[in-house]
Amino acid sequence: MNSRSRVLDALNHREPDRVPFDLGGTVVSGIHRTAYLALRQYLGLPLVEPKVVDIFQQIVQVNDDVMDQFGVDVRNVAPRSSGTHKIEIQDMGDYTCFYDEFQIGWRMPKQGGFYYDMFSHPLAGNIRVEDI
């Protein structure tokens, strides 16, 4: 049974030959950059710089060699997230940071950071009706 048949059977409440497996088909089923690099090392696969597909959560695109190793049944065919449009990572001392398309500031610690947290936004402070 191929992956397409397996997934369709599962979605149609028919019993496939095995449970379909997803790793990286969406950001929800994705894998964090740090965990992915450790997984590649554990599997003895070449260390490559992963492509980050969700900058906020640091979720990466799973390469074909990992998908083949695990028999992954799905692929991500989603368009690029608008949250990664023209993002420029900047140095902020102990952090890396960027501002998104809404001028919201996001930062992540350089050491031990796993994801970006909001640290500033354009509506911070005392906003008057006249300002709006």
Whole-number pLDDT of residue 85: 63
- H helices present in 1-132, as ranges: 3-11, 33-43, 64-70
Q: What is the DSSP letter of 52?
A: E
Name the band, by pLDDT with cuts 50, 70 and 90, for residue 84: low
- Is the CB of residue 55 less than 8 Å from the CB of residue 41? no
Provide the pLDDT for residue 1: 92
Q: Length of the chain, please?
A: 132
How far apart are the C-alpha atoms of 1 and 8, rounded to whole Å?
11
Q: Is 90 in a helix, a strand, or coil? A: strand
Q: Which of 7-21, 31-45, 65-79, 83-97 has the lowest mean pLDDT?
A: 83-97
State pLDDT tens for residues 104-123: 899 999 999 999 999 998 87
